[in-house]
């Protein structure tokens, strides 16, 4: 099977800055490996290994292609000018166009990101493939994907025909990070750089951004001094607010 692992496709929300007027500045927020990316890569590597198939990495924007190349992926694709888009469907459209640029892909594996939950399913929609989300592990068996995913009743095993998209959820931290030797070797592996125009990606504009604002907050009250006096002040304040009768 030919498997594409999508990684470093989302911006780190922790590095976004909120201005006083409520607008969000994303200039310092780069494409980063999410908590799901290592689990997704492990699943993709297991599928490639059990099917004696090819594994190709895919990242967008300023995502560092060497992240996957240092972790066993032999070649990667980078859509270098993909912008940050708040619309999950628009991000998925760029990823789908990149997947189509690779011939005969059987499986696309992507982290089931909590910050951008619509991307995995919408990517499958753009490709016209079935999607299986909440996956924890996956392998290839008899030309099909055999995946385990979390459910309300515990865990279930699903057999899925290809082509398909798997959304993988993190179940733990990365077990091993690559060393300096692996990072240096990764820099020598091939990276195919593409642009959105070269992919002829049809990016939908379905999300209308009407602006953002800083949420209203209630000023905090600090009760200082003797613990007994502070406790009495706290109780009196709660009663004044109607919290206590």
Distance (Å, rounded) from C-alpha 117 to C-alpha 167? 10
Q: What is the pTM of this model?
A: 0.80
DSSP letters of 172-186? S--S----HHHHHHH
Could you give the 3-state DSSP secondary structure of residue 91?
Answer: helix
CB of 91 within 8 A of CB of 114?
A: no
Residues 141, 144, 146, 152, Cα dihedral to 10°: -160
pLDDT: is 54 or 18 the higher one? 54
Q: Where in the chain is the domain with CATH 3.40.50.620?
A: 2-199
pLDDT in tens, 159-171: 999 999 999 988 7
For residue 22, give Cα distances in angstroms to 19, 189, 208.
Answer: 5, 42, 17
Residue 52 pLDDT greater than 80, yes or no: yes
pLDDT in tens, 100-139: 999 999 999 999 877 788 999 999 999 999 999 999 999 9
CATH of domain 2-199: 3.40.50.620
């Amino acid at each position: 099977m030919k498997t594409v692992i999508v990684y470093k496709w989302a911006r780190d929300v922790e590095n976004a800055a909120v201005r006083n007027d409520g607008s969000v500045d994303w200039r310092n927020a780069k494409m980063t490996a999410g908590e799901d990316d290592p689990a997704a890569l492990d699943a993709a590597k297991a599928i490639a290994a059990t099917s004696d198939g090819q594994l190709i990495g895919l990242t967008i924007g300023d995502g560092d292609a060497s992240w996957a190349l240092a972790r066993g992926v032999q070649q990667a694709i980078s859509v270098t000018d993909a912008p940050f888009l708040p619309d999950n469907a628009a991000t998925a459209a760029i990823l789908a166009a990149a997947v189509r640029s690779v011939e005969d892909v059987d499986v696309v594996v992507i982290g089931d990101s909590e910050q951008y939950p619509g991307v995995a399913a919408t990517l499958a929609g753009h490709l016209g493939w079935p999607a299986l989300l909440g996956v924890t592990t996956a392998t290839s068996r008899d030309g099909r994907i055999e995946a385990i995913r979390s459910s309300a009743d515990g865990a279930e095993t699903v057999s899925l025909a290809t082509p398909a998209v798997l959304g993988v959820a993190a179940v733990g931290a990365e077990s091993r990070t690559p060393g300096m030797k692996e990072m240096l070797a990764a820099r020598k592996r091939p990276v195919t750089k593409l642009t959105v125009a070269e992919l002829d990606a049809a990016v939908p504009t379905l999300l209308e951004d009407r602006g953002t604002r800083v949420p209203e907050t209630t000023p905090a009250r600090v009760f200082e001094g003797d613990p007994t006096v502070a406790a009495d002040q706290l109780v009196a304040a709660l009663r004044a607010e109607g919290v206590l009768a």
